[in-house]
């Protein structure tokens, strides 16, 4: 995902219009629109003001931008976008939950593999018939 698209996604997640963001960043709607459409690139100073107005760190913004490139799917990008907007204690809770889901998935896969593989006794019985 491009920087402009990441900024648009984060702005929309915060429920801000371009006009509201322009006012908070001392910029212009047209300028921000061009940035979001990747027609223009923000200066470092403007990017800092945008990150401050959206209440995200610049590294969070770049993380969302970079997570949309390559092999990542839209759900992963959405999850990352939501994750960085959470309070730290909620991030910790979400990570604990994700670990539980991962363990459940691993346990389920192991159970499926165990039930799908015939035991040696079953294999001997099948060979004898």
- State pLDDT tens for residues 36-87: 999 999 999 999 999 999 988 888 888 888 765 544 466 776 777 788 778 8
User: Is 66 found in the same domain as 25?
Assistant: yes
Q: Rounded to an integer, what distance in angstroms lies between the CA atom of residue 43 and that of residue 46?
A: 5
Please tell me the total count of domains within the chain: 2
Are 80 and 19 in a shared domain?
yes
Residues 80, 108, single domain; the answer is no
**pLDDT for 120 beyond 70:** no
Is-contact 52 60, C-beta < 8 A? no
Q: Is residue 90 part of a domain?
A: no
Assess whether 70 and 123 both reside in one domain: no
Distance, in Å, from the CA atom of 67 to the CA atom of 61, rounded to the nearest integer, reads 10
The whole domain housing 109 covers 97-128
Single out the residue of 26, 24, 22, 23 nearest to residue 36, CA to CA.
22
Residue at 61 is within a domain: yes
Mean pLDDT taken over the chain = 82
Residue that wins the pLDDT comparison between 115 and 71: 115
pLDDT value of position 42: 93
Q: What is the pTM of this model?
A: 0.57
């Amino acid at each position: 995902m491009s920087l402009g698209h990441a900024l648009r996604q984060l702005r929309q997640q915060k429920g801000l219009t371009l006009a509201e963001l322009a006012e908070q960043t001392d910029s212009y709607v047209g300028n921000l629109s061009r940035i979001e459409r990747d027609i223009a690139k923000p200066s470092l100073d403007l990017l800092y003001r945008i990150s401050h107005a959206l209440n995200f760190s610049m590294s969070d913004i770049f993380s969302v931008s970079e997570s949309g490139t390559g092999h990542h799917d839209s759900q992963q990008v959405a999850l990352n976008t939501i994750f960085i907007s959470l309070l730290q204690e909620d991030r910790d809770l979400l990570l604990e939950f994700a670990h539980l889901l991962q363990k459940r998935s691993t346990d389920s896969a192991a159970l499926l593999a165990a039930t799908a593989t015939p035991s040696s006794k079953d294999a001997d019985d099948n060979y004898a018939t």
